[in-house]
Amino acid sequence: MLSTIRNSRSVFASANRLSKSTGALNRCNSEKARKKDEANYPVRILSGIQPTGAIHLGNYLGAVREWVRYQEIHEDVVWSIVDMHAITAPQDPKELQDNIIKITATLLACGIDPSKSILFQQSSVPMHAELAWVFGSMTTMPRLSQQPQFKEKSEKLKDIPLGLFTYPVLQTADILLYKATHVPVGEDQIQHLQLAQHTAQFFNVKYGNTFPMPEPLINKSSGRIKSLREPAKKMSKSSEYKKSSINLVDPPEVIREYLKKAVTDFTSEVTYDPAERPGVSNLVIIHSILTDKSPQEICDEAQGLNTGQYKLHLADVVIEKLRPIRERYEELVNDPGYLNEVLKSGTDRATEIASSSWSEVKSKIGFSGGILSRTAKEVERKHVTSV
């Protein structure tokens, strides 16, 4: 279905076709702004994932699976393992280091191909932090305090780290440093993307056109996979319930056990009704995305099964669909030398792009090309007048 696309205009059409086949695409910018941007900035697709634990089904269906698809239809794609974001919550250094390697192995096992994508570790490109400082000086505290993820995460904390508050500013820097035009993410990232758009606009008005308006690419059906234990909430690594999410590399018995325990309701039929029956509908949607069938087809096929039987059937499907990823992961994770090579080469390529936008920003805001070049000109002028 996916053909290789080598020019910027067709990626929009392809992104549309792609999203129509998997669910509608959310568009935040007006068509006019998008067209203008399309002319000014080449299409670059970028996204990131935190190395805070294993990749779960929500990350995979909402984001990583889409990244693999975008990698196949566009040549300029950048994926970042955002370890600087990860430390906004306490991390054990050894565990963080292991997680970076494990996430790299999982992303490659999912199909991220270093010959088609740039895959790198955020902290290995220090310009993310430098640009975040610049943007932090242009972002107001009231705007940041409105961010729903900050509100949600800080609610549970007695002492709130500053990094958690400024997290979306760093995310804005991640995106704009690469002049990314499209950002495939799950629905939970929408407000972060809005801040990135606001900052791009603010900077462009103040210093002249520099950044494109980054457009979120959100798959409506897979953009918010729910927790297996609390179907009103998204599936999340930070849930207090152990059996709330399935990791891509979980062994079959764990997948079976967690799905068996998934919260549904007192109706035994399998139907798709996200508002009234969020638990069973979440299972249907996972099933539907993994098999490329519609929720209705899944429910038709499940006629005659009660929800308990359906969960076991779904477990078999999930185990089989994840098997190749798990097997490839096992091979890759035992080759840290190769994984480090992949990250190193990604860092070199990312640094090249980042350096160019960072010098542009520095020059525009008055950090460079100012005092030194003026002094040189003044010296020259003095020399000419004295001759």
DSSP per-residue letters across 137-195: TTS-HHHHHT-HHHHHHHHT-SS--HHHHHHHHHHHHHHHTTT-SEEE--GGGHHHHHH
Kindly name the residue from 102, 179, 226, 234 that is annotated as catalytic. 234
CB 112 within 8 A of CB 71: yes
Residue 181 dihedral angles phi and psi, to the nearest 5°: -95, -25
- Applying CB under 6 A, which of residues 11, 235, 284, 353 lies at the interface with ligand TYM? 235
Q: Specify the residue, 56 or 326, whose C-beta has the smaller distance to ligand TYM.
A: 56
Stretch that binds ligand TYM, among 15-23, 71-79, 87-95, 182-190 (CB under 6 A): 182-190
Active site residue 35: no
| Strand partners for 121 | 81
First vs last C-alpha separation in the chain? 72
Helix/strand/coil for 337: helix
Residue 96 Cα distances to 84, 125, 271, 347, angstroms: 11, 17, 41, 18
Contact with ligand TYM (CB under 6 A) among 175, 286, 298, 332: 175
Nearer to ligand TYM, 130 or 269 (CB): 130
- For residue 237, indicate whether it is catalytic: yes
Q: Which residue is nearest to ligand TYM (CB)?
A: 62
Q: Is 88 in the site for ligand TYM (CB under 6 A)?
A: no
Give the CA angle between residues 144, 150, 153 to the nearest 5°.
Answer: 165
Query: Is 44 or 234 the residue whose CB approaches ligand TYM more closely?
Result: 234
Residue 234 appears among annotated catalytic residues: yes
The residue within the footprint of ligand TYM, chosen from 11, 22, 45, 62 (CB under 6 A), is 62
- Tell me how far apart the alpha carbons of residues 300 and 354 are, in angstroms, rounded to a whole number: 50
Stretch of residues binding ligand TYM (CB under 6 A), selected from 171-179, 254-262, 288-296, 357-365:
171-179
Catalytic residue among 153, 179, 226, 311: 153
Contacting residue, 189, 199, 244, 282, with ligand TYM by CB under 6 A: 189
Beta carbon of residue 243, minimum distance to ligand TYM (angstroms, whole number): 15
Distance CA 18, CA 21 (A): 5
DSSP class of residue 227? P
* Residue 328 structure tokens: 């490839």
Q: Does 223 bind ligand TYM (CB under 6 A)?
A: yes
* Residue span binding ligand TYM (CB under 6 A) among the ranges 16-24, 217-225, 311-319, 321-329: 217-225
Rounded to an integer, what is the distance from CA 325 to the centroid of its chain? 19
In this structure, the number of other CB atoms found within 10 A of the CB of residue 263 comes to: 18
> Does residue 50 bind ligand TYM (CB under 6 A)?
yes
Choosing from 36, 116, 237, 260, the catalytic residue is: 237
Please report whether residue 289 would count as binding ligand TYM according to CB under 6 A. no
Q: Catalytic residue positions?
A: 153, 234, 237
Binding site residues, ligand TYM, CB under 6 A:
47-50, 58-59, 62-63, 82, 85, 171, 174-175, 183, 185-186, 188-189, 192, 223-225, 234-235
